[in-house]
Structure 1
Amino acid sequence: MFRPNASEDSCRTRRADASRPSAPSNGSLLDEMDQHGAESPGRPIKPVYRSSAQAEQSAEAILPNAGQASGARIRQDDDASAALEARLQAQWQSVTRIGIGHVLHWLQRGLPIILGMAVLGAVIAFGYASTATPRYTVYTDLIVDPSNFNVTPDDLTAVNPQRDSQLLEVDSKIRVMTSGNVLRQVIRNMKLTEDAEFFKPSLLSSLFGGGTTDATQETRELAVQRMLEERIKATREERSFVVVLSVWTSDPEKSIRLSNAVVEAFQAQLFESSSESAGRIAASINARLDELRASVTKAEEQVEQFKRDNKLQSSAGELTSSRISSALDTQVLDAQQRLIQAETRYNQMRAAVADRRTASATIFDSAAMTTMRGNFTALEQQIGAMTRTYGSRHPRLVAMQSERATLEQAINEEAERILQQAKQESDQARTTLTALRGRSDAERATVFTNNDAQVRLRDLERDARARAAVYETYLTRTNQISERQEIDTSNVRVISNPVPPKTRSWPPATPLLVAGGGVAGAVIGIGLALVFGLFVYLRNVRPQPLAA
């Protein structure tokens, strides 16, 4: 059988120490007296009487012996330090000489400890497997798209196309999934404060009937929330927007229900968050709308008041004075044309009268003149015919000539009347033209004045339009945001629903756990056996005697 060398060395060291002669004692008389007294404890001590000379001699002998004693103690301390150092050095040398034989010897001696620890570990593992609460973990896969549905062309939040920013937004939504608001909503929906798995009231609370007050209810929710934080985990797969939600309870069906409740509460929280943000913005804009409405009304009133003060009337976007001035200019041109025509007609009539062409001139175009001209022409024909037939002195011819003279006189009078009428028309046209020119000049001055005033009017109108545009934009935006509150634009989809797990996730199977416990106990036993063997080995090490 294997025997370590350290035991033989220690035996040789002890034999050498026993055969070594004892060193003479250099102690004082008091030490010798103590030794004698120690050797015979039952013997009475006799008093010793000395003379003064003897006392002086004794004192002289004691002083050198005291110095020798202190030196001896110093030498003893040095020897103890040297012995400790020699012992540590011997132990270190012994450690360096440890081999596989020593380890096998220690394991052989500690085999009962190893077997006992293995059995103890297996028993503990079996007890844990029998009493531990099983965990059934379910997994739900979701796609959390950072780009929400774009319901309106100008939504509240802009989409950031950068990949890193999108990943940060997804991570933020993952944190919302396991946030306190979502967990509290799950607790209330599933009534987890009444579930014994999640909340176990203390003995004092059960005895005193607590748990009905609001404070106790908050305490229950807080305790359940802390437990859910340990049981619910959400992680994002690398380089994707896929989020894996893991939930575990002691019941597979309960795990599925809890996972679905977390997803529903998460989606509701996203919608509620966006709805609250939209409502807050809409409330802020509504508060601003009253001021904008008052500002627009004031600006429009200033525009109308300026128009009234400056008599600026517009129609179809054009000032009335400008339209009147344009109309007067047109009338002036027409009056000028009529005046030219009237003067031309008057001059032609006057020339015809002066040339005695009233009967043949077509410028005289009245109905009476036409009739008389027709009669005159017929009478001229009759006179011509009768002259050729009867001669110039026929009585009937004389009568016709007298009738012709009368008709010529009537034609001249009608021509004079038409000439006077033409003169009146010409004078009236000239008067009308003069009046229209005066009114046109006056209206043109008004237009110039209105144009100068219109510069300030346009400035006021621009300000009013700008204020109205801002007000209309805010009003339209408020209506859009109010409608946006009722629309869920969060783009979160479940791509893999939770399914009942085949086996529990913790603890492992009982045989596997018992085997693991036995292996762990055996490893601990091996460690204890090695530590105990090394301790015994080092304790038996003795330093080698120094050569004389």
Structure 2
Amino acid sequence: MITLAKVLDWLRRGLLIIAVFALLGGVLAVGFGMVVKPRFASSMDILLPPPTGQVVPNELTTPNIQSDAQILDISSKLLLITSGNVLRRTVEQENLHQLPEFNAAADTEEGMFDWLKPTPPASTDDGVVVAMRNLAKRIKVARQGGTYLVSISLWTRDPDRSVAVLSTLAQSFREELEATQTDLAKNASTALSNRLEELRLAVTQAANAVVQFRQENNLQNLGGTGSVNIQSVSQLNTLLNEASSRLSDVQARYRRLSQPIADGVVPADTLDSPTLVTLRSQYSTLKQQYEELALTYGARYPKLVSTRAQLGTLRAEMARETERSLQAIQVDLDQAENSVTTLRAQLEEAQKRVSTDDNSQVQLQELERNSQAKAALYDTFLKRVGETSEQQQISVSNLRIVTEPVPPEKRSWPPPTLLLAVGGVLAGLILGVVGVLATRLFLLARQNNWRFERAS
């Protein structure tokens, strides 16, 4: 039967063993504190209130006073602190990927106990990614109650490095917040610019439609002279009279030139061709010489024969030139007839349009209203594009650091040596007591042939 007195007797007899365990626990705890690399934690407090004002008119990020929206906003910003962009900026600015503390592959120094270290597995990630992962594990972000105050803590192996990395982390976080606003303004500006081009084309098309409709329907207002259609009727009447007079002149010339030619000589009143005038003058002179020779000499006289041949040649040339003149006058005649026909058709069309000006004016007013509406919308978008472009140049963050990080006075891990020693001694005492009692119970059970009796 196991009684309290027996247990105390067992402990008294095993007091030396318990003392050895306690001493060993204290020594191991102190040795652990001396061997383990220390951690130095630094912390800072930042304030992340929602936007409360506008820097420029019509700002994209307007304040939202809804409580649910504010909760989502602060929660998103807490996650943004440990985002990839923030961590990458911090690692690259502080060159953490070159420190063995954050990137084991950067440790190139050889030590006498390197053979005890396990060989790290091969990794395809670069040092920056590895350092980002290790940095993320060392960051703790906590929101203070229901406020906008956020505490950020970070530990490294060096107290000054903890402060530097934490300060860089806060600056990177600020830059990411500003980049978010800038990207929003940039994306909005790009979208508005694309839409602006579509609106510009629409405004141009609407304006061209008004101009084209005016031109097609001759609706330009000419003041006291009336509309274009009325003035066109008057002008077309004048042009038609002139064209008809010209047609009559060309027809008279064609009839005179097409009359039968006597003795191959063109009548003098039809000579509107310089070439024909020259040929007729030569022919008249040569004809006179021929008649004078014919009075004196016979028909076989050589010079008379030669003159007669020259007269035949001139008559042939005048006939050809007359034919060419007739063809030219025929072209003028066709053109004059076409001109008269065209002007008559235009005059009839203009007279019809005069009666339809009122209906066309109603359609024109509708086109003008559509053009003005699109132009006003285009002006609005143009102004908005200018505002969003300016917002890209202005990066304002409402982040405020209320508690700057300072170097820690003592390490955060492992605990102080005295505390480790006390803890080791206590752990050794407990382990010694458990070991002594377990040993005595084992021996007692073996003596009783592993039989246990219930106390009555």
**Superposition TM-score, scaled by structure 2 size:** 0.62
Structure-to-structure mapping, 1:241-320, within 5 angstroms: 241-313=148-220
Judging changes above 3 Å, is the alpha-carbon distance between structure 1 residues 448 and 521 closer, same or farther for their aligned structure 2 residues? farther
Q: Is the 1:147–1:159 Cα contact (8 Å) retained in structure 2? A: yes
Alpha-carbon separation, structure 2, partners of 1:319 and 1:497: 82
Q: 2:28 aligns with which of 124, 129, 135?
A: 124
Q: How much does 1:129 deviate?
A: 1.3
1:171 — aligned with what? 75
SS at match of 2:37: coil
Identity %: 37
1:160 — aligned with what? 64
**Is 1:151 matched up with 2:49?**
no
Judging changes above 3 Å, is the alpha-carbon distance between structure 1 residues 162 and 529 closer, same or farther for their aligned structure 2 residues? farther
Q: Is the 1:321–1:447 Cα contact (8 Å) retained in structure 2? A: no
**Is 1:190 matched up with 2:94?**
yes
| Counterpart residue identity of residue 97, structure 2 | T
Unaligned 5+ runs, structure 1: 6-97, 208-214, 323-445
Q: How much does 1:448 deviate?
A: 10
| Counterpart residue identity of residue 82, structure 2 | T
1:531 — aligned with what? 438
Judging changes above 3 Å, is the alpha-carbon distance between structure 1 residues 513 and 294 closer, same or farther for their aligned structure 2 residues? same
Judging changes above 3 Å, is the alpha-carbon distance between structure 1 residues 123 and 320 closer, same or farther for their aligned structure 2 residues? farther
Q: How much does 1:281 deviate?
A: 2.6
Q: How much does 1:171 deviate?
A: 1.6
1:478 — aligned with what? 385
Alpha-carbon separation, structure 2, partners of 1:498 and 1:448: 88
Q: How much does 1:515 deviate?
A: 0.9
Q: How much does 1:506 deviate?
A: 1.8
Alpha-carbon separation, structure 2, partners of 1:314 and 1:104: 124
| Counterpart residue identity of residue 189, structure 1 | Q
Alpha-carbon separation, structure 1, partners of 2:71 and 2:441: 57
Structure-to-structure mapping, 1:333-352, within 5 angstroms: none
Unaligned 5+ runs, structure 2: 112-121, 228-352
Q: 1:487 aligns with which of 370, 394, 419?
A: 394
RMSD between aligned alpha carbons?
A: 3.3
Structure-to-structure mapping, 1:417-456, within 5 angstroms: 452-456=359-363
| Counterpart residue identity of residue 132, structure 1 | V
Q: How much does 1:99 deviate?
A: 4.1
Q: How much does 1:533 deviate?
A: 3.3
Judging changes above 3 Å, is the alpha-carbon distance between structure 1 residues 222 and 321 closer, same or farther for their aligned structure 2 residues? same
SS at match of 1:485: helix
Count of residues paired in the alignment: 317
Q: How much does 1:508 deviate?
A: 1.9
1:72-96 deviations in Å (ceiling 9; x for gaps): xxxxxxxxxxxxxxxxxxxxxxxxx
| Counterpart residue identity of residue 37, structure 2 | T
**Is 1:501 matched up with 2:408?**
yes
Structure-to-structure mapping, 1:82-121, within 5 angstroms: 98-121=2-25
Q: Is the 1:142–1:494 Cα contact (8 Å) retained in structure 2? A: yes
Structure-to-structure mapping, 1:352-501, within 5 angstroms: 452-501=359-408
| Counterpart residue identity of residue 60, structure 2 | L
Judging changes above 3 Å, is the alpha-carbon distance between structure 1 residues 288 and 115 closer, same or farther for their aligned structure 2 residues? same
Alpha-carbon separation, structure 2, partners of 1:305 and 1:205: 83
Q: How much does 1:115 deviate?
A: 2.1
**Superposition TM-score, scaled by structure 1 size:** 0.52
Alpha-carbon separation, structure 1, partners of 2:130 and 2:174: 24
Q: How much does 1:248 deviate?
A: 1.7
Alpha-carbon separation, structure 2, partners of 1:456 and 1:312: 11
